[in-house]
Structure 1
Amino acid sequence: MLSQKTRYTIRALQHLADRWRQGPERLDAIAAAQNIPRKFLTVILAELARDGIVVSHRGREGGYELALPPVDIRYGDVIRLTRGSLALVPCASRNAHETCQNCLPESECRLRALMLTLRDEMAAMLDRVTLADVLTPEDAYGSDQQLGAG
């Protein structure tokens, strides 16, 4: 399950992608349009700026905009930045591996084998889909085209 932080981050980035090359967007406008608490969004955008995903502009006409074209920002990378792992269980994580509590040894666990396969398939799909693939709700929900298929 995606964390609330990850969902807010994705919504903020989608908002900025919809406005690509239209100049900086004010934090208050993003927060209001995406129903994200202002304080939480401030932290998220600061982290995204530090990671080189967004650029912050100060001053009266300031705000935030994507540092990269939407086609260069992949959902898999965003999720990894905010959540740390694409795995559904800790023992299937590449970057944050932990042994599951109250489980069989990993070499005997059939659930882990399934979760490793699922993690790899999900990662492959999320690494194909970019913000450019989902620019507007009409594109995301009104099309029969499969995301990331291109």
Structure 2
Amino acid sequence: MISQKAKYALRALVSLARIEQPGKALFISDIAEEQSIPKKFLEQILLDLKRHGIVVSKRGKSGGYLLLKPASEITYGEVLRIIDGPIAPLPCLSRIAYRRCDDCLDETACEIRQVFARVTEATRDVLDKTTIADSLASAEGLPDPALVD
């Protein structure tokens, strides 16, 4: 299950991706209102995303936040890892925070690990191939590229 913070991060990125005018920024208050996100919480989220090179902030009258890279290059998996950490359900399956399970005698023979390895790969496959741009396209009724062969 993803956290509320991760859902807010994804919703904020969708708002920023909807901007049609290149270089136009959105104020935090506008994103917060549009997406029903508490403003103070959104500030923290956008700072995290800024530190990881997903968004950038502009100062001044036409200031606010905008995407630093195209929505087609920002995956759900990337955002979830930034906000929530590892996606894997078991520490022995994590790519970014691998840790052998404390009670494990042999990872290669662990039946539980084998099942969750398949779950993890399927989850990564979807999350790492689905972008913010894809979610906008599917919201507009276009086929989701991650689901089309």
For the aligned residue pairs, the C-alpha RMSD in angstroms reads 2.1
Task: Give the drift of 1:8.
Answer: 1.0
Sequence identity of aligned pairs in percent? Answer: 39
Q: Hey, what's the Cα distance between the residues in 2 that align with 1:46 and 1:20?
A: 23
TM-score, with structure 1 as normaliser: 0.84
TM-score, with structure 2 as normaliser: 0.85
SS of the residue 2:126 aligns to: helix
Which residues of 2 match residues 41-52 of structure 1 at below 5 A? 41-52=42-53
CA pair 137-125 structure 1, distance change in 2 beyond 3 A = closer
Letter in 2 for 1:14: V
Q: Hey, what's the Cα distance between the residues in 1 that align with 2:43 and 2:89?
A: 28
Match of 1:19 in 2: 19
Select between 70-79 and 108-117 the one with higher mean Cα deviation. Answer: 108-117
Gapped runs of 5+ residues in structure 2? none
CA pair 28-20 structure 1, distance change in 2 beyond 3 A = same
Gapped runs of 5+ residues in structure 1? none
Matched, 1:10 2:10: yes
Matched, 1:123 2:124: yes
Q: Deviations over 1:97-135 (max 9, x none)?
A: 34556x554454322211112111211221111111111
